[in-house]
Amino acid sequence: MKARVLVDASDIDRFAPHTHPLWWGILGAVAIEAAVVATLLTSYFYLAAQNPAWPPEGVAPPDLFWPTVVLVLLPLSSFTMWWAGKGSDRGDQRQLSIGVTASVTLAVLALVARSFQIAEFDASWNDHAYGSILWVITGFHYTHVVSAVSGTAVVAVLAWRGYFTPERQLGVVVDTVYWYFVAGVFLPIYLVLYIAPRLL
Amino acid sequence: MTAVGIETSGHDPALEPSSYGHEAAVGREAFERIERTWRSPAGFVGWFTQVNHSAIGLRFIVTAFVFFILSGLLGLAMRLQLAMPLNEMLSPEAYNQIMTVHGTAMMFLFAIPAMEGVAIYVAPLMVGARDMAFPRLNAFGYYVYLIGGSAFFLSLALGMAPDAGWFNYVPLANKTFSEGYGVDIWTTMITFIELSALTAAVELIVTIMKLRAPGMSLDRMPIFVWAVLVMSFMILFAMPSVMVASAFLMMDRLVDTQFFIVENGGSPLLWQHLFWFFGHPEVYIILVPALGIVTSIVVTFSGRPLFGYTALVLAITGIGMVSFGLWVHHMYTTGLPFMGRSFFMAASSMIAIPSGVQVYCWIATLWGGKVRFATPMLWVLAFFGVFIAGGLTGVMVASVPFDRQVHDSYFVVAHFHYVLMGGAVFPLMGAIYYWFPKATGRMLSERLGIGSCLTVFVGFNITFFPMHILGLQGMPRRVYTYVDGLGWGNMNLLATFGAFLLALGFALTLFNVVRSLRHGAVAPDNPWGGSTLEWATASPPLNCNFIQQPVVESRRPMWDWREAGSRTVVAGLSEDRRETMVTTLLDARPQSVMVLPGPTPWPFVSAVAASFGFIGLIFSPWFFPIGFFAVFATMVFWFWPRHPWRKK
Ligand code: HEM
Ligand SMILES: [Cu+2]
């Protein structure tokens, strides 16, 4: 059977990081994670509604200081991440390297702040459902920051070694999307875990 | 819908360009180079490095059917035990384990993965892609499924299987009432296997949205592909809920969190909400792709374009969305507020509307055509019969007063086997008969196929119809035996007899498959005269799927080409790299070219590391950080870019 050529792919771009399917894939991963967070937060409210007092009698809601520090650090780290991406788009490897390194540093600081805050929790995970859900949501987010930091640390090392030529920016673009999510999702968590118990 | 000038009558394979001249199209040398580029390594070690979607899809299907056979045998064991009153073949403990493993495995290890497998195998071919968007992730998902599923079954062989039913209700599943590792195996392995469903879902969504052949705008996409897309989105939003639920339970049992412990502020109903928020859509996750399979078969065997394309797309999407609002109908007997129950009752009845639309579309498509009653079509007819019966009892149990009567009785067992066997197994069998020639290059025997279909249909009804009556007579589900003198003996004996007939029917298809692999007639490229692109490649498909990627100008490329006497294709893709077209989301205009990775062992290593972590979690929480970092390390190697290709 004869073939009529309708599309010639010879000159079509092979290195389009912003429309690359992987970008969509990360969006899918983010959608899943967002669904998990939504489920966790809904469970929090469900358990709250089942209990006469929330937090239970004699338990203080978590202190606001450290979470607020985290709330500042994470968006800041997203900003440096965005700035790094701008550099990478222009082919500026130095800006990229500095940017991702700054992000990793800021996020590590956020992890430290978060650890202080966890040490201060008034409730343990094993004496009341309140403590359980508090710890689990916190642990979930903590784990995600750790994985975003680990992944981005690898990107940072590669960036300093000049790996990300314009054809290889994809890794940066994808890592950035995930980073935004991990940073952004802290806002609803903050509102629910730290503000809501003061209003309920 | 405009009718096109296509002969509606019987399909004649002799008129079909039995070979599209795959080799002649590009010349022998180029053909061999391309095929070498896309070849999967052979041999034992090679097996662990394969990433092509056709290989992975086939593995999913075969593995799912192995689990189907195993779970089916467990079903037979239960039926034997229940054949007469006070039977002592199985102890209560063994019965509970067998029942739980049967239910869990049928749902999580058979039905969903089988649908995913068919989707992974067929959907990329149907959209004219050379492979899926993330071939390595695909392989990873498969190993996760294989290891998780095997571990789950192994627990039964070791006598430490879960025994709290497939929905694993707390407080029964709490540590206080279920000691031992059974429930832990359930929670860890189910969470783990869901991971593979999620990877498959993301993979399918991106492939369908971005890798469609140029010209295949959304409104030209085959209905099966639409169905797969809807299924994948449903997985994306439903699975997290059951993962969270099982993670809670895992932690309650492992590190004494109090999510489900009433004395300390926990709530058993939280489990039920989370489980059914997933569990109800799950039924539709299984059903929706099955509807896609049915539509493909109906179109091909009626030989005419689908009636009501848009209506069908809307119906399938509608079913997907409405199914997220129905979960509470599994909880009518938990003392929910009256208003709440009424709302969910109304919503549950609403699902009848899109389902009705579909049935009319199929009937209208079949009406004017000269229908060919080959085996795939027979399974579809059986599907109609069984599924409609299941739908009728479904409307009955969706009503609150009726459900409160038959809840937890054999009426419910009858109902969901009609829906699940009707909605999943019959279409899957149709799919096997329909796509077997494409996947293997051999035809299945029609005679054995007809025999199998009839036996399964009759055997199925003899097994499960009497259960309606048993349920109305008051026989509760999940009992390992019953006393004499209740008048249940005869019906139970009949059901057991039917189960063996049913098994015989499936055995016939198994025999057919094994025999035809060697002795079946050689299949042409398009044996049934189908209209979609999977029939454009060789049987079995080329390594690269399409030696030249197709360009699509209507909903029925194969029929267009047959009329025009020529194909429309893409040129200019590399022969030495795995390249496939990326197109825009809505109208599939060419956008860029994606370079896909080749064979690699890292997905396998990664899956082993993840399994190590998850299986360890059954015993100690320390395996969480260990598994986490082990997987991270393997991922670094996985993503380490090895192909510093240059811009050409
Ligand atoms: C192959 C033939 C099959 C036979 C003979 C069979 C038989 C049975 C029997 C006897 C029970 C136990 C009822 C009880 O004790 O309450 C059962 C339960 C169940 N079956 Fe099947 N079944 C078959 C196929 C399937 C399929 C294809 C699916 C799903 C895709 C399925 C899903 C279930 C589920 C979810 C349960 C409930 C388990 C529980 O109560 O936790 N079965 N089946
Ligand atoms: Cu339901």
Please write the tens of the pLDDT for every residue from B515-546: 999 999 999 999 999 999 999 999 999 999 99
Cα B60 to chain center, whole Å?
A: 9
- Percent of the residues in chain B that have a pLDDT greater than 70, as a whole number: 96
Chain centroid, CA A165 distance in Å:
25
Contact (Cβ atoms closer than 8 angstroms) between residue B571 and residue A5? yes
The pLDDT value recorded for residue B642 is 57
* Other beta carbons within 10 Å of B644: 9
| pLDDT for the residue numbered B2 | 31
More confident residue, B467 or B401: B467
Q: Is A6 on the interface with B (CB under 8 A)?
A: yes
Whether pLDDT at B13 is above 70: no
CA A43 – CA B257 distance, rounded (Å): 14
Of B173, B41, B171, which is closest to residue B104 (Cα–Cα)?
B173
C-alpha torsion sign, points B147, B150, B152, B155: negative
Q: Enumerate the domain spans of chain B.
A: 13-639
Residue A134 reports pLDDT greater than 70: yes
d(CA A159, ligand 2 centre) in Å:
51
In chain B, which among 179-238 make CB contacts under 8 A with chain A? 198, 201-203, 205-207, 209-211, 214-215, 236-237
Give residue B399 CA to ligand 2 midpoint distance, Å: 12
Question: A45 lies in a domain?
Answer: no
**How close, in Å, is residue A135 to chain B by CA atoms?**
9
Q: Which of A140, A64, A141 is nearest to A107 (CA)?
A: A141
Distance (Å, whole) CA B133 – CA B567: 25
Nearest CA to ligand 1 atom 1: B72
Percent of chain B with pLDDT over 90: 72
Give the nearest partner residue to A128 out of B258, B595, B646, using CB atoms. Answer: B258
A146 Cα to chain B: minimum distance (Å): 10
Tokens of B271: 């489990």
Confidence label for B644 from pLDDT (cuts 50, 70 and 90): very low
Picking from A56-65, B4-13, B326-335, which range would have the lowest pLDDT averaged per residue? B4-13
- Tell which A residues from 89 to 118 touch B, by Cβ distance under 8 Å: none
Asked if residues B441 and B522 have their Cβ atoms less than 8 Å apart, the reply is yes
Residue B326 has pLDDT above 90, yes or no: no
In the chain, the amino acid numbered B259 is F
pLDDT reading at B20 higher than 70:
no
Residues 130-159 of B with CB under 8 A from A: 133-134, 137
The residue with tokens 């459900």 is: B403
How many distinct structural domains can be found in chain A? 1
pLDDT at B646: 46
Distances (CA, A) of B285 to A16, B228, B235, B239: 33, 9, 7, 10
Question: Can you give the pLDDT at residue B643?
Answer: 52
In 3D space, the residue among B580, B592, B599, B590 whose CA is nearest the CA of residue B129 turns out to be B580
C-alpha pair distances (Å), B586 with each of B551, B580, B583: 15, 18, 9
Q: What is the mean pLDDT of chain A?
A: 90
Let me know if residue A152 belongs to a domain. yes
Ligand index nearest the alpha carbon of residue B167 = 1
Look at B348 and B176; give whichever has higher pLDDT.
Answer: B176
Is residue B561 within 8 Å of residue A3, measured between CB atoms? no
Q: What confidence category does residue B113 fall into, taking pLDDT thresholds of 50, 70 and 90?
A: very high
In the three-class reduction of DSSP (H, G, I as helix; E, B as strand; rest coil), residue A71 is classed as: helix
In this structure, the number of other CB atoms found within 10 A of the CB of residue A4 comes to: 12
Q: How many whole angstroms separate alpha carbon A57 and alpha carbon A161?
A: 55
Task: Answer yes or no: do B255 and A13 touch at CB < 8 A.
Answer: no
Of the candidates B525, B539, B547, the residue with the CA atom closest to the CA atom of residue B130: B547
Virtual torsion, Cα B539, B544, B549, B550, nearest 10 deg? 20
DSSP strand pairing (B590-596 vs B566-571): unpaired
Compute the half-sphere exposure of residue B443: CA atoms within 13 Å on the CB side of its CA: 15
Q: Is the CB of B107 under 6 A from ligand 1?
A: yes
B421 lines ligand 1 (CB under 6 A): yes
Residue A29 lies in a domain: no
Beta bridge partners of B568: A4
Contact of A9 with B582, CB cutoff 8 Å:
no
Residues in chain A: 200
Q: Tens digits of per-residue pLDDT, A79-93?
A: 999 999 888 888 888
Residue B162's SS3 state is coil
pLDDT digits (tens, 9 = 90+) for B292-317: 999 999 999 998 889 999 999 999 99
Comparing A65-74, B41-50, B394-403, the range with the smallest average pLDDT is B394-403
In-domain check, residue A187: yes
Q: Is B86 left (phi over 0), alpha (psi -120 to 50) or beta?
A: left
Instruction: Give the residue whose CA is nearest to atom 5 of ligand 1.
Output: B75
Q: Indicate yes or no: pTM above 0.90.
A: yes
Given a cut of 80, whether residue B10 has pLDDT beyond it is no
The answer to whether residue A9 sits within a structural domain is no
Q: How confident is the model at residue B412 (pLDDT cuts 50, 70, 90)?
A: very high
Residue B641 has a pLDDT of: 63
- Condensed to tens digits (0 to 9), the pLDDT of residues B606-626 reads 999 999 999 998 888 899 889
Within 8 A by CB and 6+ apart from B403, the residues are B329, B332, B333, B397
Which member of B241, B639, B644 has the closest CB to residue A39? B241
Q: Is the pLDDT of residue A163 over 90?
A: no
Using a CB-CB cut-off of 8 Å, the residues of chain A touching B211 are 21
Measured CA to CA in angstroms, residue B427 lies from A97, B26, B573, B622 at distances of 54, 37, 37, 44
Q: What is the dihedral of CA B534, B536, B538, B541, to 10 degrees?
A: -30
Q: What is the DSSP string of A149-190?
A: HHHHHHHHHHHHTT---GGGTHHHHHHHHHHHHHHHTHHHHH
Q: Which residue has the higher pLDDT, B481 or B638?
A: B481
Q: Tokens in use for B261?
A: 């412990």
The string of pLDDT tens digits covering residues A12-34 is 888 777 778 888 999 999 999 99
Tell me the mean pLDDT in the region B173-200: 91
User: Atom 29 in ligand 1: which residue has the minimum CA distance?
Assistant: B106
* Angstrom distance (rounded) from CA B155 to CA B158: 5
Contacts with B590 from chain A: Cβ below 8 Å: 7, 9, 12
pLDDT-based confidence at residue B96 (cuts at 50, 70, 90) = very high
Residue B8 pLDDT > 50: no
What pLDDT, in 10s, does the model give residues B483-514?
A: 998 989 999 999 999 999 999 999 999 999 99
How high is the pLDDT of residue B14? 44
Instruction: Tell me, yes or no, whether A91 lies in a domain.
Output: yes
- pLDDT band, very low/low/confident/very high, at B355 (cuts 50, 70, 90): confident
Is the pLDDT reported for residue B18 higher than 70?
no
CATH number, domain with residue A169: 1.20.120.80
Any atom of ligand 1 within 6 Å of the Cβ of B315: no
Determine the average pLDDT of the residues in B412-426: 94
H-helix segments, B7-107: 22-26, 28-37, 43-47, 53-82, 92-104
For ligand 1, whether the C-beta of B471 sits within 6 Å is no
- The secondary structure element, H or E, covering residue A4 is strand A2-8
Nearest chain B CA: its distance from A58 CA (Å): 14
Residue B310 class from Cβ within 10 Å (0-12 exposed, 13-18 middle, 19+ buried)?
Answer: exposed
Rounded to the nearest angstrom, the gap between the alpha carbon of residue B512 and the centroid of all alpha carbons in its chain is 22
pLDDT for the residue numbered B17: 47
Handedness of CA B565, B570, B576, B578 (dihedral sign): negative
Taking CA atoms, B550 is separated from A5, B391, B537, B557, in Å, by 9, 40, 10, 9
Closest ligand by atom to B422 CA: 1
Contacts of A124 (CB under 8 A, 6+ apart): A131, A135
What's the pLDDT at A11? Answer: 87
Angle at the Cα of A24 (from A18 to A30), degrees rounded to 5? Answer: 120
Neighbours of B149 (CB within 10 A): 24
**Radius of gyration of chain A, Cα coordinates, nearest whole angstrom:** 21
What is the domain range of residue A94? 69-199
Cβ(B462)–Cβ(B64) below 8 Å? no
**How many beta carbons lie within 10 A of that of residue B163, not counting itself?**
23
Which one, of B493, B486, B485, lies nearest residue B466 by Cα? B493
> What is the Cα–Cα distance from B557 to B537, expressed in whole angstroms?
13
> For residue B295, what are the CA distances in angstroms to A51, B217, B310, B503?
50, 19, 13, 27
The number of angstroms, rounded, from the C-alpha of B536 to the middle of its chain's C-alpha atoms is: 24
Beta bridge partners of B596: B578
The answer to whether A144 faces chain B, any CB pair under 8 Å, is no
| Ligand 1 in reach of B567 Cβ (< 6 A) | no
**Tell me, what's the pLDDT at A172?**
82
Helical spans, DSSP H, in B211-254: 223-254
Distance B242 CA to ligand 2 centre (A): 15
Q: Give chain A's count of helices (H) and strands (E).
A: 7, 1
Please name which ligand lies nearest the alpha carbon of B331. 2
Half-sphere exposure of B345 (CA within 13 A, CB side): 17
Query: For B78-92, B453-467, B579-593, B634-648, which range has the lowest pLDDT when averaged over its residues?
Result: B634-648
Whether ligand 1 lies within 6 angstroms of the CB of B425 is answered as yes
Q: Per-residue confidence at A173, pLDDT binned at 50, 70, 90? A: confident
Contact flag A150-B632 (C-beta cutoff 8 Å) = yes
pLDDT digits (tens, 9 = 90+) for B32-89: 999 999 999 998 999 999 999 999 999 999 999 999 999 999 999 999 999 999 999 9
Class of domain B13-639: mainly alpha
Residue B92 burial (CB count, 10 A): 11
Query: pLDDT-derived band of residue A162, with 50, 70 and 90 as boundaries?
Result: confident
Taking 90 as the threshold, does the pLDDT of residue B462 lie above it? Answer: yes
Half-sphere exposure of A114 (CA within 13 A, CB side): 25
**Nearest residue by C-alpha to atom 27 in ligand 1:** B421
d(CA B35, CA B30): 8
Element spanning B275, H or E: helix B268-302
pLDDT 10s digits, B546-557? 999 999 999 999
Closest to B537 (Cα-Cα) out of B439, B399, B629, B411: B439
B255 shares contact with chain A (CB less than 8 Å): yes
CB proximity A68 to B under 8 Å: no
Domain membership flag for residue A20? no
Asked if the structure places residue A18 within a domain, the reply is: no
Which ligand 1 atom sits nearest the alpha carbon of residue B424? 30
Q: Are B212 and B129 in contact (CB under 8 A)?
A: yes
